[in-house]
């Protein structure tokens, strides 16, 4: 049985079950008319919405469940489920095969498909009928005339005159319409009814208006049309109508002693002919007679009706809304394959070879360059004639194998398509007369904020931000801000180099290895970038420290290093980053499904068809080697007064209203010493975030923006960009490398100035970004009196195929 057939049957089962439970509660548990009316309406509503909602729950449950409900689910699932076992040729006896050959051509799926068509046609006709009746009733209500002055004078008490209308001739008092609903009074009643009967009519119909019963009737009419096959829903609608009339009858009476007279009054109106259209709510009607009988019995028994439903009743309804769907969802139909996947997959098949095309992440297509050998490593058997090829351009694996082995391939692909987040790393270096934190320890985000606040209020402290990098878990990276020594010298530099390593651990943690190194003069004085211009390289000593700690996303690792009389504290913050540029709420352990879209339907084809697909893949793989990276660069110069409020290093985060998701955390607080003439990586933005930033910056005064000529290069090649003279000239060298996953790019950035101070504005770093994201590099380049000049580079690498078209982005869960 197909998934569509099972879903259709389960919808019917759940709708019946929910309606039946609601009817039992309304009919046998709740006695008060006010509460019955609300409960019946809620039950009718949930018969449709609840059943529809349950249809999106997995059968059997495969999603993660809250621990408190796990035992309940397991108990219900194991006993109440009807299992439909698909028959295979191996499971049939010879007599069954013979019977099957003479069986009717119609299968269960065909019957259910016909039932679905019947359901849709009948529901459509009923909805059209309801629409026609509703439009006719509304037009009738709009054409009713307003009351004349003598008619108003005949009314016994103050009433909402704006909601009263008059029907010419004989008719029954009623409520009609929705825009807005009105009370229709027959013209023949004026001058004939005593004041008491007028009070009964007006109070009864005014209660209908107050409760918005016409709107409730319309909603129930729509649900009845959609669930026309469900008899319990029709019974619930009738229960609601009876309870509603009892509530309005109670509102009409001043005292219980009027019940006899009021009953005769209702019988009199019910006996009169009614000329109103359908969908109105008359004060009394003989159709259906059981509804009028129930009202009269309630009046004779003088049943009390609550004025308010009460908090206890509301709480009970909420409990039912939460508990009943969970109970009903355990009823249903599923297949044996879904119920026992392991056992079903192990059943032998007839050995027929068929072809299926599996869509995989680009990384898997690259790993499976020789698809057959890769699948063999994953435990897939290939009998004689079975084979597999990989198409790296379309990110597909085409496999020709038996049904059993193809099911195993599907499981392998599903597992391989789930990856962990990247690690977004930002660093800060504090040079002070004391250490902050504990060497090898960690700081929470709040503790880090307290440290930075303390630093900002302490004199004689230098705080530097390092370039931000993104890296994969299980890899290493380097963050550098340095001026390298001559080639003949051993590896010496002025500035900072921080080596990073990240390994996965349990419970959503990673083990971070941090090794900061600093160029010093004789190990006593730290050297910055500007010192690199005139440094005595034989006197340079590289000092290092190292720390290792297990951290969660958002935590900071601390390292200490004494340099002469100064204390150097390095703070490295690691956060989990998803492919869409958002920080992963599930931390480093969050599983990201790169194949969020459904797999295409299996394709059954011959060996010749497979050979054609294999040739296609060979041709596409040859073109894959020509894949390139398109590089686009924008340069922005901004002049800001020191008194302008928000400093420019916070402008990027402020352009989005809040710190940008996926971007580096904001710069240090105001008051922290920040050196000019130093470029750093400011953050990483998705395309939508980048567009917001550009629009925000374009509205600022004092901005000069230039767009450099874009270029496309092969992976591992470099591109030299010339920085315009309007931005002080210089060069930018970009070297992109496409990651093995086909979706990430490791981008090496070098910015060289041609001004008189070659070391100023220099940057050399590598950062890993997802395809199409934008890296923001920049900093303050000049201070002139009360004006700060800052410069930003927006670098966007995008993977393109041989035809020049951008490749599809991977989806994230």
Boundary of a domain, candidates 347, 374, 400: 347
Check whether residue 329 and residue 361 sit in a common domain.
no
Check whether residue 341 and residue 356 sit in a common domain.
no
Boundary of a domain, candidates 603, 624, 645: 624
pLDDT for residue 715 = 80
Residues in the chain: 813
pLDDT for residue 72 = 37
pLDDT for residue 76 = 40
Residue 23 within any structural domain of the chain = yes
Alpha-helical regions (H) of 301-424: 311-329, 336-339, 341-345, 362-367, 371-377, 403-416
Boundary of a domain, candidates 323, 347, 371: 347
Residue 667 within any structural domain of the chain = yes
Check whether residue 796 and residue 677 sit in a common domain.
yes
pLDDT for residue 403 = 85
Check whether residue 251 and residue 343 sit in a common domain.
yes
Check whether residue 341 and residue 367 sit in a common domain.
no
Triad 692, 698, 700: Cα angle to 5°: 115
Q: Which among 372, 404, 373 has a CA at the least distance from the CA of 386?
A: 372
Detail the DSSP E strand segments found in 460-594: 462-465, 469-472, 476-484, 493-504, 510-521, 525-526, 540-544, 547-551, 556-563, 566-577, 592-593
Helix orientation angle between 311-329 and 33-54, rounded to the nearest 10 degrees = 30
Kindly report, residue by residue over 76-114, the tens digit of the pLDDT.
443 344 444 444 333 444 444 344 444 444 567 788 888
Check whether residue 273 and residue 372 sit in a common domain.
no
Check whether residue 650 and residue 794 sit in a common domain.
yes
Helix orientation angle between 108-143 and 3-24, rounded to the nearest 10 degrees = 50
Check whether residue 112 and residue 257 sit in a common domain.
yes
pLDDT for residue 675 = 41
Give the pair of three-digit tokens for residue 68.
Answer: 């408190």
Kindly report, residue by residue over 318-370, the tens digit of the pLDDT.
998 888 887 887 776 654 444 444 444 444 567 788 888 887 776 677 666 78
pLDDT for residue 604 = 57
Check whether residue 246 and residue 390 sit in a common domain.
no
With a cut of 50, list the residues of the chain below it in pLDDT.
58-105, 335-347, 596, 598, 645-650, 653-676, 756-760, 810-813
Residue 178 within any structural domain of the chain = no
pLDDT for residue 633 = 94
Give the bridge partners for 39, in sequence order. none
Residue 555 within any structural domain of the chain = no
- Structural domains counted in the chain: 3
Check whether residue 790 and residue 648 sit in a common domain.
yes
Domain of 598, in residue numbers:
348-416+594-624
Residue 95 within any structural domain of the chain = yes
Check whether residue 394 and residue 324 sit in a common domain.
no
pLDDT for residue 336 = 45
Residue 453 within any structural domain of the chain = no
pLDDT for residue 339 = 43
Residue 507 within any structural domain of the chain = no
User: How far is the C-alpha of 593 from the C-alpha of 418, rounded, in Å?
Assistant: 5
pLDDT for residue 2 = 66
Check whether residue 112 and residue 249 sit in a common domain.
yes
Residue 3 within any structural domain of the chain = yes
Report the run of H or E that residue 423 belongs to, with start and end: strand 422-432
């Amino acid at each position: 049985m197909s998934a569509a057939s099972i879903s259709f049957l389960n919808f019917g089962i759940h709708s019946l079950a929910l309606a039946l439970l609601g009817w039992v509660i309304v009919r046998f548990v709740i006695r008060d008319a006010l509460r019955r009316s609300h409960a019946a309406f809620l039950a009718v509503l949930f018969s449709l919405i609840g059943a529809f909602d349950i249809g999106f729950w997995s059968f059997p449950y495969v999603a993660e469940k809250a621990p408190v409900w796990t035992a309940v689910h397991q108990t219900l699932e194991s006993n109440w489920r009807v299992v439909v076992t698909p028959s295979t040729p191996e499971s049939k006896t010879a007599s069954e095969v013979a019977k099957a050959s003479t069986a009717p051509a119609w299968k269960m799926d065909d019957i259910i498909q016909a039932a679905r068509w019947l359901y849709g046609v009948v529901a459509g006709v009923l909805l059209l009928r309801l629409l026609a009746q509703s439009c006719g009733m509304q037009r009738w209500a709009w054409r009713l005339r307003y009351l004349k002055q003598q008619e108003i004078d005949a009314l016994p008490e103050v009433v909402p005159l704006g909601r009263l209308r008059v029907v010419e001739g004989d008719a029954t008092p009623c409520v009609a319409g929705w825009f807005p609903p009105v009370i229709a009074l027959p013209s023949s009643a004026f001058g004939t009814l005593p004041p008491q009967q007028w009070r009964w009519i007006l109070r009864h119909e005014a209660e209908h208006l107050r409760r918005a019963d016409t709107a409730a009737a319309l909603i129930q009419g729509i649900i009845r049309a959609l669930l026309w096959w469900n008899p319990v829903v029709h019974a619930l609608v009738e229960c609601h109508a009876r309870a509603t009339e009892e509530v309005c009858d109670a509102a009409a009476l001043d005292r219980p002693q009027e019940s006899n007279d009021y009953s005769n009054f209702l019988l009199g109106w019910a006996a009169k002919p009614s000329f109103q259209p359908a969908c109105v709510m008359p004060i009394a009607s003989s159709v259906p007679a059981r509804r009028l009988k129930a009202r009269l019995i309630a009046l004779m028994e003088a049943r009390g009706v609550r004025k308010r439903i009460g908090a206890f009743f509301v709480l009970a309804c909420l409990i039912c809304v939460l508990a009943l769907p969970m109970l009903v969802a355990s009823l249903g139909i599923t297949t044996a394959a879904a119920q026992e996947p392991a056992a079903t997959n192990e059943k032998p098949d007839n050995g027929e070879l068929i072809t299926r095309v599996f869509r995989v992440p680009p990384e898997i297509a690259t790993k499976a360059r020789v698809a057959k050998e890769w699948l063999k490593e994953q435990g897939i058997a290939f009998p004689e004639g079975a084979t597999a090829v990989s198409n790296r351009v379309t990110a597909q694996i085409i496999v020709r194998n038996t049904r059993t082995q193809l099911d195993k391939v599907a499981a392998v692909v599903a597992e391989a398509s789930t990856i962990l987040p990247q690690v977004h790393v930002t660093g800060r270096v504090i040079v002070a007369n004391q250490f902050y934190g504990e060497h090898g320890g960690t700081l929470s985000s709040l503790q880090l904020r307290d440290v930075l606040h303390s630093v900002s209020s302490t004199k004689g402290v230098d705080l530097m931000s390092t370039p931000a990098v993104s890296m994969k878990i299980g890899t290493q990276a380097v963050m550098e801000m340095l001026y390298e020594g001559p080639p003949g010298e051993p590896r010496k530099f002025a500035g900072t180099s921080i080596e990073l390593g990240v390994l996965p651990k349990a419970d959503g943690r990673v083990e971070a290895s941090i090794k900061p190194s600093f160029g010093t003069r004789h190990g006593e004085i730290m050297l910055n970038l500007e010192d690199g211009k005139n440094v005595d390289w034989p006197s340079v000593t590289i000092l290092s420290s190292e720390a290792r700690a297990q951290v969660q996303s958002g935590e900071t690792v601390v390292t200490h290093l004494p340099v002469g009389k100064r204390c150097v504290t390095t703070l490295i913050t690691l956060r989990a980053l998803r492919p869409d540029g958002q920080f992963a709420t599930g931390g480093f352990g969050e599983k990201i499904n790169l194949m969020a879209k459904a797999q295409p339907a299996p394709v059954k084809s011959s060996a010749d068809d497979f050979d054609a697909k294999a040739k296609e893949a060979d041709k596409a793989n040859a073109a894959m080697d020509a894949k390139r990276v398109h590089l686009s660069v924008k340069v922005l110069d901004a002049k800001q007064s020191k008194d302008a409020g928000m400093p420019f290093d916070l402008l990027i985060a402020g352009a989005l209203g809040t710190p940008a998701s996926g971007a580096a955390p904001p710069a240090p607080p105001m008051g922290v010493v920040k050196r000019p003439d130093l470029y750093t990586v400011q953050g990483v933005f998705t395309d939508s975030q980048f567009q917001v930033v550009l629009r925000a910056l374009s509205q600022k005064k004092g901005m000069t923006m230039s767009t450099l000529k874009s270029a496309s290069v092969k992976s591992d090649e470099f591109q030299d960009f010339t920085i315009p003279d309007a931005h002080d000239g210089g060069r930018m060298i970009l070297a992109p490398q496409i990651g093995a996953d086909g979706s990430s790019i490791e981008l090496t950035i070098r910015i060289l100035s041609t001004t008189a101070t070659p070391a100023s504005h220099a940057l050399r770093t590598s950062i890993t970004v997802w395809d199409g994201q934008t890296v923001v590099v920049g900093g303050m380049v000049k201070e002139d009196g009360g004006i700060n000049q800052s410069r930003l580079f927006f670098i966007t690498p995008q993977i393109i195929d041989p035809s020049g078209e951008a490749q599809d982005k991977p989806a994230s869960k």
